[in-house]
A and B are shown apart, each in its own frame.
Chain A
Amino acid sequence: MKRTFDTGNAAITEGAIRAGCSLFAGYPITPATEIAENMSRRLPQVGGYYLQAEDENAALHICNGGAIGGLKAMTATSGPGFILFADAFGWAVSSEVPVVIVNSQRVGPVSGITGAPGQGEFYLSRYLTHGGNFETIVLAPSSVQEAFRLTVRAFYLAERFRTPVIVLADQMVTDGWETLELPESEAEFTAMGLEVVPRRIHPGPEFYPASDAIDIPPVVLGHNTGAACSDWTPTDRGHDTEDVTWQHKHAWRLIHKIRNHRELIDEAEEWFLDDDPDVILVAYGTPSRVVQSAVRAARREGLRVGGIRLISLWPFQDRMFSRTATYLTVELNWDGQLVREVQRAAAAGSSVHFWGRCGELPSSGELLETVQKLLKNEPLERDGWRTEKW
C-alpha cells in the first residue's frame, strides 16, 4: 500500500484511473479544476484521452459519446457546471449509459462563493434532469480516502446498472489534504473491497428489455450489432416510439432496475444507534466528520446521542430512520435539504430539526450546544438572519 498525503481531487483522479476510466472531458471550474488538471497528466500515461469541452453540457455529451463507443468516461465540475449537465445527464439516464459525474459542491446559488464548501445539490443530484421517471445513484464521500473508494465504486455501479453515477463531494473533500492509501497490487485493491467491471458490449437486438434486470451489457456502437440509442422513448430494440405502453415499460425499468437492487448501493455509517439515542445527528460529506466528533463528545458527557452518516444518498435510505427519535440534520446550506427527506422518512412520533451553515464547517462545540438544547426541549430559533427556524 502506498501511503501519501494528498487531496480529494488527486484521490478521485486515481480512483478513476484504477477503475479503467479512459476518457475525461471537462471544463475548468473551482473547486473541481484540479481533477481536470490531474486527469490531463495521468490519462495519457495510461493510454486514455483528456479533452476540454466548450462547456459542461458538451463535456458530459462528449463523455456520453465516448461511453457509447465503449470507453469508460468521467467528468467533474462544481455547481454552476453541474446544472448545465441537465440535458446530457437525461440522455445518459434514458439511454442507460454508464458514465461517472463528480460534483464538488461549493456555495450557491449560481456562482456563489467559489472556494468555500456548500451542500446545495442534494436534490439537484437526484433530479439532475427533467421529466422524472427515473432513479439516480448518488454517492457522497467525506474523506480523501473515501473519495478514492467511492470513485472506483461509482464506475463499478455505473457498469452494473447501466446508468450515470454521481459522486457528490464538497469543496472540503476535494481541496482538503489527508492521508491517502493507494493499493499497489491487484490483491491490495481487492482487499480494500474494490471491484472493477470491464465494459461489455450488448449483442442486441433487445437493447432495452422491459425488466428490472441489472448486469446487462451497455449499448456499444461500432460493432455492427444494429445498436440504437437515443433521447427518444425506446422500444426494446431502441427504436423511437410515442407509444405510452412502451414509455411506461421504459420508465419502469429506469426506476426499478435501481430500486429493486438497492442493497448493492445502500451504504451508511452509524454511531450509537443501538444504544437508545434520544437525539440522532444526520449528515453526509465533510460535515458528517464533525458530527462524529460531536457524537463522541456527547457520549463522553453521558448524553444519549447517536449519529448517521449517509454514504449513498440516493436512492434515499429510509431504513436508517426507523427509530422514533429527535433527529438533527447538519448541512452546509441555509435552506435545509437533507432535513426534508429525513422528515419524510423518520418513524412516526419523531421530531426533525435542522442545523445549517454555508461556506464553513460547524464546530463540534456548536453541535453539542444544539444537542443540549434539543435534549432540554429548548427551541432552536435564533434571532434575525443568523439562524432561522426551519
Chain B
Amino acid sequence: MSERIEILISGYGGQGVVRIGQILGQAAVYQGLYTTMLISHGTETRGGYVRSQVVISDEFIDSPVVERPDYFCAFSAIAYQMFKGLCGPQGLILHNPDLVSPDPLLEAGHWAIRAESLAERELGNAVFANVVFLGALSSRLALLSAEHIAAAIRERLPERFHEKNLRAFALGQGLKVQVQP
C-alpha cells in the first residue's frame, strides 16, 4: 500500500511558505520519492495569504490537491481560519500561539510552537521561524530523513544563511511534541 502525506503550509507573503515547500520537495526527491507542490500566490485581493500544498508519496501522485492535510503549518490567523476546516482528526496543526488561537471545536491536534520568539532569542532574528517549523514538522515525518532535509536546506537557501538555518532546523527538531487535542 502506498503512503501519501499531505502537507499544507500557509501564511503571509515573506514568511517562507513557498521556501519550506521547496525544501520539503527537494528532500523528497533526494529520498527517491515523488512529490508535488502547488502554490497559490496570495495577494491582498485574494485574502492576503500564500499557500503551498505539498504531497509526498512513494508512487506517482495523481491529485496534487491537499484535501485532508496530515500536517498544516498555519503561519497566520487568516491562513488558519481559511484552511483549518480541511483538517480531520488525523491532522496536526503546527501554529504559533502568539498569532493563531486554536479553534476548540476542531478534531485535529494542535501543536503550539513559539517559533518567532525562539528564533529571535536563539538566532537573533525571527526570520528563521519558518525553518524552526520545518524542523518540528520533520521530527514527525518518518518518510523523510533529517539528512536529506538538511541537504535540501543547503540546496535551496543561499550559502551565507546555511549555518543559521541549519541551527533553526535543529532547534525545531529538538522541540517536544505537545499536542493539544
Residue positions of A touching B, CB distance < 8 A: 3-5, 113-116, 143, 172, 175-179, 286, 289-290, 292-294, 296, 361-365
Which A residues are CB-close (under 8 A) to B64?
172, 176, 178, 286, 289, 361
A365 close to B25 (CB less than 8 A): no
Docked Cα-Cα span, A115 to B44, in Å, equals 13
Would you call B62 and A178 a contact (CB within 8 A)?
A: no
Q: Are B63 and A293 in contact (CB under 8 A)?
A: yes
Interchain CA distance A172-B52 in the complex, whole Å: 12
How far apart sit A361 and B39, CA to CA, in the bound complex (Å)? 12
Query: With an 8 A cutoff between CB atoms, is B26 at the interface?
Result: yes
Residues of B within 8 A of A293 (CB): 62-63, 65
B40 sits at the interface (CB 8 A):
yes
Interface of A is mostly: mixed
How distant is the Cα of A290 from the Cα of B36 in the complex, in angstroms?
13
A115-B40, A292-B63 given; 15 more Cβ-contact pairs under 8 Å: A5-B25, A5-B29, A113-B46, A114-B41, A172-B38, A176-B38, A176-B64, A177-B22, A177-B25, A177-B39, A179-B28, A289-B63, A296-B62, A363-B67, A364-B63
Q: Does B91 contact A (CB under 8 A)?
A: no
| Shortest distance between the CB of A382 and any CB in chain B (Å) | 19
- Cα A5 to Cα B31 with chains together (Å): 12
Task: Please indicate the chain A residues that have their CB under 8 angstroms from the CB of B63 in the complex.
Answer: 289-290, 292-294, 361, 363-364
Tier of interface size on chain B: 20 to 34
Kindly state the separation between the CA atoms of A16 and B90 in the bound complex, as whole angstroms.
43
- Cα distance A143–B34 in the bound complex, in angstroms: 12
Is B37 on the interface with A (CB-CB < 8 A)? Answer: yes
The answer to whether B109 has its CB under 8 Å from any CB of chain A is no
Say yes or no: is B35 at the interface (Cβ < 8 Å to chain A): yes
Shortest distance between the CB of A2 and any CB in chain B (Å): 10
| A179-B39 contact in complex given A5-B29, A292-B63, C-beta closer than 8 Å | no
The yes or no answer to B145 lying at the interface (CB within 8 A) is no
Asked whether A364 lies within 8 Å of B67 as measured between CB atoms, the reply is yes
9 residue pairs bridging A and B, Cβ less than 8 Å apart: A3-B29, A5-B35, A116-B46, A172-B38, A178-B35, A179-B25, A179-B35, A179-B36, A363-B65
CA A292 – CA B62 in complex, angstroms?
Answer: 6
Nearest CB in chain A: distance from B56 CB, A: 10
State how many angstroms separate the Cβ of A141 from the closest Cβ of chain B.
Answer: 13
Taken together as a complex, chains A and B put the C-alpha atoms of A179 and B33 apart, in Å, by 8
Max count, chain A CB within 10 A of own CB: residue among B21, B43, B62: B62
Q: How far is the CB of A10 from chain B (nearest CB, A)?
A: 12
CB within 8 Å of A: which residues of B? 21-22, 25-26, 28-29, 32-41, 43, 46, 61-65, 67
Contacts known (A3-B29, A5-B25, A177-B25); A364 close to B37, Cβ less than 8 A? no
7 smallest beta-carbon distances between A and B, as pairs: A293-B63, A115-B41, A177-B37, A292-B62, A290-B63, A5-B25, A5-B29
Q: How far is the CA of A24 from the CA of B65 in the complex (A)?
A: 32
Complex: A290 Cα to B25 Cα, angstroms:
20
Contact (A176, B39) CB under 8 Å given A289-B62, A289-B63, A293-B63: yes
CB-CB < 8 A to A113: which residues of B?
A: 46
Of A116, A286, A362, A364, the contact of B40 (CB 8 Å cutoff): A116
Contact: B34 with A179, CB < 8 Å? yes
Residues of B within 8 A of A363 (CB): 63, 65, 67
**Contact in complex: B67, A179 (CB < 8 Å):** no
Interchain CB contact under 8 A, A5 and B38: no
- Nearest Cβ on chain B to A107's Cβ, whole angstroms: 11
Q: Is the CB of B37 within 8 A of A176?
A: yes
Q: How far is the CB of B130 from chain A (nearest CB, A)?
A: 17
Q: What chain A residues lie within 8 Å of B61 (beta carbons)?
A: 178, 289
**Smallest CB–CB gap between A192 and chain B, Å?**
15
A178 and B37 contacting across the interface, CB-CB below 8 Å? yes
Candidates A5, A175, A290, A365; contact of B28 at CB < 8 Å: A5
Contact of B22 among A5, A362, A365 (CB under 8 A): A5
Q: A144's closest neighbor in chain B, by CB?
A: B36
Q: Once the chains bind, are B21 and A177 in contact (CB under 8 Å)?
A: yes
Is the pair A361, B65 in contact by a Cβ cutoff of 8 Å?
Answer: yes
